[in-house]
C-alpha cells in the first residue's frame, strides 16, 4: 500500500535556548517543510519504532514494536519481513518491544560483515523483560532476509522491576564502536537509584567493541575509579530516547520526570561524562528545583517544561539533499505535543525553532528514522510513516 499526504509546516518561530538569550543564535532564516505520508495507518504496519537503511541503500527498513523489521522497496511494503522475532519480544505492555536496530558500518561493502544488530526486550519469566542486543547475519540466498539461526548474543542487561524506562537505541559511532543507551530501570524518580550507580548498566550510555562477539570493552573506555575500564561510556541518564552522532558531536534527547525535557550535545569522543540524573532534571535540581551540587555534571544545552510537552523524542541532524536550508539542524519532537522543532548548536550557542501551525499529532510520535540518502522520517504509534520534505 502506498499513500501520499502532505501537512504544511513553516518553521520560523524562534524559541529561547536553555543557556540564555545571550548565547542564542538569532540569524537563522525561516524555512518551510512538509510531512509527506509514505505509509498511512491502513498499511498494516502497526506500532512503529525505528527506520534505518545503510548509506546509499534505496530500501527502507522499518521496525515494528511487536518484533518485526519490514522492508519497503520502491514505495511498496514487502510481504516477508527482513526479520521476525515476535515470539521472543515483550511488546504488549509498558514501553517494551523491538526498540531499534543498527547495520554494521560495512554492511554494503564487505560481504563478511553483512550484520544487523537488533535491540529488543525479551521476557524473563515475569511481566517485564531484559534489554537484549543480538547480531544477525544476512541470508546467503536472499538480500531481503536475515538468517534467524545466525543470532549471536551481544549483551543482556537485567531490567525486571518495572515495565518502563528501557531507553534507548543501539547504533554505531564514528569510531566504529557499538553504543547502547539504557533507561534507569523504571519507576518514578529513579526508584532504583541506577542513574548515579557506577556498578549497573541502567541509566547509561554503553560503548562496546563488537569486532569479536559477544563483545570486548574498549581499552579507552572510562574506568570510573576502578582498575579497569568498563562498558559504561557515560552515566546519569533517565530514559535517553534517543541519541545520534553527527559531525563529531553526540546529541542525546533524555526524557524527563515530571517537569523538564532535555537535549545534551557534546563532542562524540567525550568519555566519562555524567548527565546528572537523578541529581538534576534538565537544568534544574531534582526533585524540587532547589539546591544541589552540580560539580562534574554535564548540563543540557536546551530543555523545556511540561507546558510544552511531556516526553521528548530525539531525532537526527539533517544531512539529506531535499531541504538544503535544513542542513546541520537537529530535529526532535515530543510524544504528547507532536511538535517538530529544530536545534542548531554551534560555538556553544543553541537556537531552537518550531513549526508553529501543524504538528504530527498528540500522543502518537514514536521515533524518527533516516534513510540511505540522509532524508528523515517520523514514525507514529498508529502506523504512519511520515517523510520530512520541502
Distance CA 172, CA 82 (A): 20
- Rounded to two decimals, the pTM is 0.93
Mean pLDDT confidence for 318-330: 93
pLDDT band at 31 (very low <50, low <70, confident <90, very high): low
Q: Assign 156 to helix, strand or coil.
A: strand
Q: Residue 288's pLDDT is what? A: 87
Distance CA 212, CA 228 (A): 19
Q: Residue 318's pLDDT is what? A: 96
How many CA atoms are closer than 13 Å to the CA of 51, on its beta-carbon side? 32
Q: Which three cell numbers stand for residue 247?
A: 559531525
Name the CATH topology of 6-389: Neuraminidase (2.120.10)
In the predicted structure, residue 16 carries a pLDDT above the cut 80: no
Q: Residue 390's pLDDT is what? A: 85
Q: Where are the domains of the chain?
A: 6-389
Distance CA 310, CA 303 (A): 12
Choice among 51-60, 131-140, 352-361 with the minimum mean pLDDT: 352-361
Q: Residue 224's pLDDT is what? A: 97
pLDDT band at 13 (very low <50, low <70, confident <90, very high): low
Q: Residue 27's pLDDT is what? A: 44
Q: What is the pLDDT of residues 72-131, one digit of tens each?
A: 999 999 999 999 999 999 988 889 999 999 999 999 999 999 999 999 999 987 768 999
Q: What is the pLDDT of residues 270-286, one digit of tens each?
A: 999 999 999 999 999 99
Q: Residue 21's pLDDT is what? A: 36
Q: DSSP letters along 247-268, please? A: TTEEEEEE--SSSEEEEEEEET
Q: Residue 178's pLDDT is what? A: 98
Longest dimension (CA), the chain: 61
Q: Residue 354's pLDDT is what? A: 81
Select from 379, 52, 367 the least CA-distant residue to 240.
Answer: 367
Mean pLDDT confidence for 256-272: 97
Say how many C-beta atoms besides its own lie within 10 A of residue 323's C-beta.
18
Q: What is the pLDDT of residues 309-321, one digit of tens each?
A: 999 999 999 999 9
Q: Residue 2's pLDDT is what? A: 35
Q: Which residues, other chains included, contact 63 with Cβ-Cβ below 8 Å and sequence gap of 6+?
A: 48, 49, 50, 51, 52, 69, 70, 98, 99, 100, 101
Strands of 178-181's sheet in order across: 169-172, 178-181, 205-208, 232-235, 273-274
Average pLDDT of the chain to the nearest whole number:
91
Q: Residue 229's pLDDT is what? A: 97
Q: Residue 357's pLDDT is what? A: 56
112: left (phi over 0), alpha (psi -120 to 50) or beta: alpha
Q: Assign 159 to helix, strand or coil.
A: coil
Q: Output the CA torsion 128→47→88→107 (10° steps).
A: -120
Choice among 140-144, 275-279, 349-353 with the minimum mean pLDDT: 349-353
Question: Residue 331: what are its φ and ψ, rounded to 5°?
Answer: -100, 140
CB pairs under 8 A, 24+ apart, for 19-28?
19/301, 19/302, 19/348, 19/349, 19/350, 23/348, 23/349, 23/350, 24/349, 24/350, 24/351, 25/344, 25/346, 25/349, 25/350, 25/351, 26/351, 28/344, 28/351, 28/353
Q: Residue 30's pLDDT is what? A: 54
Find the radius of gyration of the CA atoms of the chain: 20
Q: What is the pLDDT of residues 166-209, one digit of tens each?
A: 999 999 999 999 999 999 999 999 999 999 999 999 999 999 99
Mean pLDDT confidence for 363-383: 96
Q: Residue 23's pLDDT is what? A: 39
Amino acid at each position: 500500500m502506498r499513500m501520499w499526504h502532505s501537512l504544511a509546516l513553516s518553521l520560523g518561530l524562534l524559541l529561547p535556548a536553555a543557556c540564555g538569550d545571550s548565547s542564542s543564535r538569532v540569524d537563522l532564516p525561516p524555512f518551510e517543510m512538509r510531512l509527506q505520508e509514505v505509509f498511512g495507518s491502513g498499511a498494516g504496519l502497526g506500532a512503529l519504532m525505528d527506520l534505518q537503511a545503510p548509506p546509499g541503500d534505496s530500501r527502507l527498513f522499518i521496525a515494528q514494536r511487536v518484533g518485526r523489521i519490514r522492508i519497503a522497496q520502491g514505495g511498496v511494503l514487502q510481504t516477508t519481513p527482513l526479520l521476525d522475532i515476535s515470539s521472543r519480544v515483550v511488546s504488549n505492555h509498558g514501553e517494551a518491544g523491538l526498540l531499534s536496530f543498527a547495520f554494521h558500518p560495512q554492511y554494503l561493502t564487505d560481504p563478511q560483515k553483512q550484520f544487523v544488530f537488533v535491540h529488543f526486550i525479551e521476557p524473563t519469566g515475569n511481566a517485564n523483560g531484559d534489554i537484549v542486543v543480538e547480531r544477525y547475519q544476512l541470508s546467503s540466498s536472499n538480500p531481503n532476509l536475515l538468517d534467524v539461526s545466525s543470532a549471536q548474543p551481544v549483551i543482556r542487561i537485567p531490567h525486571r522491576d518495572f515495565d518502563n524506562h528501557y531507553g534507548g537505541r543501539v547504533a554505531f559511532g564514528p569510531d566504529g564502536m557499538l553504543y547502547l543507551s539504557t533507561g534507569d530501570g523504571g519507576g518514578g524518580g529513579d526508584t532504583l537509584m541506577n542513574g548515579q550507580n557506577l556498578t549497573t548498566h541502567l541509566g547509561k550510555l554503553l560503548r562496546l567493541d563488537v569486532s569479536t562477539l559477544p563483545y570486548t570493552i574498549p581499552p579507552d573506555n572510562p574506568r570510573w575509579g576502578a582498575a579497569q575500564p568498563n562498558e559504561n561510556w557515560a552515566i546519569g541518564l533517565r530514559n535517553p530516547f534517543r541519541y545520534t552522532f553527527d559531525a563529531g558531536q553526540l546529541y542525546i534527547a533524555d526524557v524527563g520526570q515530571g517537569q523538564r525535557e532535555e537535549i545534551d550535545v557534546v563532542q562524540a569522543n567525550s568519555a566519562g561524562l555524567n548527565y546528572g540524573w537523578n541529581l538534576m532534571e534538565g537544568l534544574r535540581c531534582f526533585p524540587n528545583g532547589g539546591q544541589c551540587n552540580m560539580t562534574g555534571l554535564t548540563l543540557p544545552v536546551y530543555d523545556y517544561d511540561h507546558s510544552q510537552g511531556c516526553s521528548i523524542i530525539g531525532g537526527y541532524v539533517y544531512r539529506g539533499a531535499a531541504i538544503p536550508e535544513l542542513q546541520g539542524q537537529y530535529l526532535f519532537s515530543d510524544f504528547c505535543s507532536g511538535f517538530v522543532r529544530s536545534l542548531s548548536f554551534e560555538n556553544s550557542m543553541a537556537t531552537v525553532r518550531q513549526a508553529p501551525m501543524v504538528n504530527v499529532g498528540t500522543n502518537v510520535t514514536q521515533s524518527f528514522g533516516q534513510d540511505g540518502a540522509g532524508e528523515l522520517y517520523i514514525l507514529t504509534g498508529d502506523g504512519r510513516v511520515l517523510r520530512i520534505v520541502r
